[in-house]
Structure 1
């Protein structure tokens, strides 16, 4: 990565704008233009259905950001009202909140500079995968360093001149040395390698990669650019467990400003120095990682609840006294008036608010009873998309209704392929997959979200998918997965990704499967929802095969860890936290 000192020199040389400034275009700001009146510290911006306002309270040249009177609305709904945002240089913030509270919208507002963020602070908001082009993965990462490319081009032109470029060329070479240009390719290659790209893949054209792999290239580019403010929304969604471990280790060394939205408690614990909690249209700040946040929040809420109860008891007692003795004898009336003044003073000083608990969703899967084993059996199964490139060879195993299996292994090892062999979407080249005649399998995967008609509401979608059912039954089915009221009847394009995932779960659960195959089910779900999903799976009596990069979910629901690698499926002897140390030690990242 470009060194901090090099970035500062580059910023000074260009009058305060650092080399990644143009990366703001990635967040839909044309030509990297800064938005908001920074000079007087006021920002107010409306983009599409999003409105954001705020006042810069910190010094315009500071590396810390303090914004007061922050308000954010989306589609006419207030997400944040008159709150504060504080981002300090060198801190790594985890942004938490329930699905639909506006976490991604806040990141977009920061990334598009709808808030008065000083221009000398460059921002990179990772929003989408890299464009499909003839550029190689390595070139796509290196070519984002605009200053280096410009200087190298200028040096080439000057060197070709008759005078050999003179002092101007010397200055360019000095600058190239300062920004560590000679190691650009090496640094980019190391980042790509950490995210799962071997040398052959790094040379492959970006258009030959799937969307998930192009998202990894975009993530590599963000890390390579090393901006002052890095905004990441669910960066682990397209990563396998090994790449998650590498990213965690990489980000914990970041000495800029990081704001990350993640559903993985394990990842937040490893990366974050601070937590921002979006609740009740306010931003609340906590020092420490996720576990420390949970502990601190619990302690604060316990003290708040005690104070609230004490105040309410005092108020109730005083009001009762005033009502009883306000018109009594002179002495009692004076005491009643004194209590009235005390009550008014308490109210003027601001009473303690009642603790607002996060609404805990209760997922429910319908119990399915028993099917005699073997329910799903692989007998000598060999599979490859071509006979020359086999993914699996001679697999022999069984999965029953009491199986709780997590599939792990590097991307490309065939975890999703194995699930498709289980459902029958893929047929073995050799051997057979035997399924019980009455077995109902339901599979969750991210591509299901693409099949949702986003112009329809969740209720309309369920009625279309399962015709002949009463509206109330369909409402109840969606409600089981935490979507209620207006959220059931508004177009799904206005729902968050997490809310759409719940619609898919409702759709799957209605089929009452005996076996669930879950391929990255936690993508876009908030932490509370993941815990509810884990609880529902643990209470359910069906079989489960899980593919996930979320160590904590695997730890909560899986009894067995199966490693997919080298054309085989083998049982891991330890638990998932032991497995986490496996890639860490393999990459030399162990403490």
Structure 2
């Protein structure tokens, strides 16, 4: 019982260390390693708990994890070196002299990795800098992390199986066994502060997994991520990949690991689920390290920011906005220091050159300045501030078309006549429109875009398009249609012919941050973010009058999203946007359509008022006793 665990924890305080038991040789010989892919997932494709504590003494495990570790995995292309600098029994992780390579390319060189218990970190950096590779290296324990720190990396959906969504979330027997074994070993150790903290944390987690309310807690997490009671009882094989990713996320939150690694957790979520997840992660009290392109989400969740810059890890206290302010102040001071040093160096060099061969007195002074200059150089000079590369995305202006450009008249649609998604839709989009479509997943947001382009026909009513209207549509699966064996340059020349010439096409795709060697690499070797940029370059070159963008920010870094927003605001065409990024919507949209309840209606307010509405709805549901 949980209460027994608490009593046991209290009884261990001040207890002398018992004789340690050693595993029998035959037990060690018979032990089988857990089958797992090298990317941190079980062989069935589900995210795994990366810490598997055997019955060997934890002190031996800690000793084994201390010191320098080097691992090269041919299949993953990763190679790491690093030294564990934190106490082997600490809940904090500090690895010094940390170097990370990917297929021989340096991502980090002699960096310091520091992750402290109770902190929630946002990991930032441009597309291709190695953020996802770093998360995978941590999960696979390429880095020397003590075994008692269990790690959960969420980077793919849960496997399709006969288990229900609720059962899949609660399938944590392996984790419970591991924690129980670790607790049994801890009570045999000296009750140092570190051991006592770890033991208390283990009992708290075991209590949460043993509680009579365990099913209620799992159901509550699924509900927050958009699962109705009926959906929770559906088999996982009946869900799409996006919904199975939500189940995997729910399981990660349910397990509550010591170190939780999230790679773009808001992808596949609607705005309502994003709001719930933000509120939930605010309460996470262990180690959270996440990659996210959403500034709004980073502001709401993070206590610290880590910036991957110039092959180092730079640390900032506070959320994203505080990071921006602090970084700007530091760079301003650095630039002042750099200019002052350069002026001093210039003056000293001028003096040395002018008087170095003059009178004895002047020569001595020149010699003194030469020594001062050498001392400055030996002590290390301030580097010039290197500003982030700004990508200048641009859409060609297309002029005006007389309204109505795209008009819905009394439209009804459903994938079958007995299951109508919405009816009596009377709305229009013109070239000066900036519309965001919001609503829960499954309400029909993407379906509405398909009706606009004519990919679907309404059950009733009419969708009218201007005869000369060119629509450019972006959706999440366009990158899958790229030829993986072609380079971005070859793909664009193939799609649009070679009339423009290679140099002109290089300039076209260069505007989207695809420059240098990246232009000639096979698309299959590019990061997801760079693949998305190729799609945007292809889309922009079609010079559309209207853009229909369905989750365009997935896999883009923050700088590219800001550049996309600037390009849209400078462009004279129409926009319809489906996105889970509150900040992007606020940047580019002045009209909001809400889909749900069989209707499509205008929201009377901006996107922040809609977010406040979602928060209040969640708070009201959380207070209802019948849902607990």
Deviations 1:82-126 (A, max 9, x none): 110100000000000111111111111111110000000000000
Q: Given that residues 482 and 502 in structure 1 are in contact (C-alpha distance below 8 angstroms), is that contact kept between their aligned partners in structure 2?
A: yes
Is residue 138 of structure 2 the alignment partner of residue 110 of structure 1?
Answer: yes
- 1:456 Cα deviation after fit: 1.8
Q: Given that residues 24 and 111 in structure 1 are in contact (C-alpha distance below 8 angstroms), is that contact kept between their aligned partners in structure 2?
A: no
SS across alignment from 2:537: helix
| Aligned residue in 2 for 1:44 | 70
1:439 & 1:36 partners in 2: Cα distance? 66
Is residue 576 of structure 2 the alignment partner of residue 550 of structure 1?
Answer: no
Change (3 A) 1:487 1:64: same
| Aligned residue in 1 for 2:514 | 483
Deviates more, 1:73-82 or 1:374-383: 73-82
Change (3 A) 1:60 1:492: same
Q: Given that residues 233 and 262 in structure 1 are in contact (C-alpha distance below 8 angstroms), is that contact kept between their aligned partners in structure 2?
A: yes
- 1:28 Cα deviation after fit: 4.1
Change (3 A) 1:39 1:569: closer
Deviations 1:24-65 (A, max 9, x none): 867148895779984442221112321111111111111111
1:342 & 1:151 partners in 2: Cα distance? 60
Is residue 270 of structure 2 the alignment partner of residue 270 of structure 1?
Answer: no
Matches within 5 A, 1:39-118: 39-48=65-74, 49-118=77-146
Deviations 1:225-256 (A, max 9, x none): 10000000100011000100000000010000
| Aligned residue in 1 for 2:455 | 425
1:151 & 1:195 partners in 2: Cα distance? 27
1:27 alignment partner, one of 40, 56, 60: 40
Q: Given that residues 62 and 146 in structure 2 are in contact (C-alpha distance below 8 angstroms), is that contact kept between their aligned partners in structure 1?
A: no
1:51 & 1:493 partners in 2: Cα distance? 21
Is residue 245 of structure 2 the alignment partner of residue 215 of structure 1?
Answer: yes
Is residue 464 of structure 2 the alignment partner of residue 451 of structure 1?
Answer: no
Q: Given that residues 66 and 88 in structure 2 are in contact (C-alpha distance below 8 angstroms), is that contact kept between their aligned partners in structure 1?
A: no
| Aligned residue in 1 for 2:553 | 522
1:386 & 1:239 partners in 2: Cα distance? 25
2:220 alignment partner, one of 185, 190, 210: 190
SS across alignment from 2:163: coil
1:84 & 1:304 partners in 2: Cα distance? 21
1:149 & 1:57 partners in 2: Cα distance? 29
1:434 alignment partner, one of 453, 460, 464: 464
SS across alignment from 1:370: coil
Please provide the CA RMSD for this pair.
2.7
| Aligned residue in 2 for 1:18 | none
| Aligned residue in 1 for 2:25 | none
Change (3 A) 1:347 1:488: same
Q: Given that residues 65 and 88 in structure 1 are in contact (C-alpha distance below 8 angstroms), is that contact kept between their aligned partners in structure 2?
A: yes
Deviates more, 1:25-34 or 1:493-502: 25-34
- 1:146 Cα deviation after fit: 2.2
What is the TM-score with the length of structure 2 in the denominator?
Answer: 0.85
1:150 & 1:482 partners in 2: Cα distance? 46
Change (3 A) 1:553 1:321: same
Q: Which runs of 5+ in 2 are unaligned?
A: 13-17, 22-32, 53-60, 181-203, 624-628
Change (3 A) 1:177 1:486: closer
Q: Given that residues 407 and 547 in structure 1 are in contact (C-alpha distance below 8 angstroms), is that contact kept between their aligned partners in structure 2?
A: yes
Q: Given that residues 352 and 370 in structure 2 are in contact (C-alpha distance below 8 angstroms), is that contact kept between their aligned partners in structure 1?
A: yes
Q: Given that residues 24 and 33 in structure 1 are in contact (C-alpha distance below 8 angstroms), is that contact kept between their aligned partners in structure 2?
A: no
Deviations 1:108-150 (A, max 9, x none): 1111110000000000000100111111111111013425589
2:379 & 2:87 partners in 1: Cα distance? 31
1:115 & 1:39 partners in 2: Cα distance? 9
1:300 alignment partner, one of 327, 330, 335: 330
Q: Given that residues 63 and 88 in structure 2 are in contact (C-alpha distance below 8 angstroms), is that contact kept between their aligned partners in structure 1?
A: no
Q: Given that residues 125 and 131 in structure 2 are in contact (C-alpha distance below 8 angstroms), is that contact kept between their aligned partners in structure 1?
A: yes
SS across alignment from 2:534: helix
2:175 & 2:153 partners in 1: Cα distance? 19
| Aligned residue in 2 for 1:143 | 171
Deviates more, 1:247-256 or 1:476-485: 476-485
| Aligned residue in 1 for 2:418 | 388
2:35 & 2:608 partners in 1: Cα distance? 37
Deviates more, 1:465-474 or 1:432-441: 465-474
SS across alignment from 1:563: strand
| Aligned residue in 2 for 1:496 | 527
1:579 & 1:175 partners in 2: Cα distance? 35
1:210 & 1:149 partners in 2: Cα distance? 31
What is the TM-score with the length of structure 1 in the denominator?
Answer: 0.90
| Aligned residue in 2 for 1:351 | 381
Change (3 A) 1:441 1:175: closer
2:117 & 2:430 partners in 1: Cα distance? 52
| Aligned residue in 2 for 1:206 | 236
| Aligned residue in 1 for 2:541 | 510
Change (3 A) 1:409 1:175: closer
Is residue 503 of structure 2 the alignment partner of residue 468 of structure 1?
Answer: no
2:529 & 2:535 partners in 1: Cα distance? 10
Q: Given that residues 471 and 548 in structure 2 are in contact (C-alpha distance below 8 angstroms), is that contact kept between their aligned partners in structure 1?
A: yes
1:370 alignment partner, one of 395, 400, 404: 400
2:179 & 2:366 partners in 1: Cα distance? 80
Deviates more, 1:130-139 or 1:416-425: 130-139
Deviations 1:439-496 (A, max 9, x none): 0001111110111222221112112222233222322221111111111111112211
SS across alignment from 1:130: coil
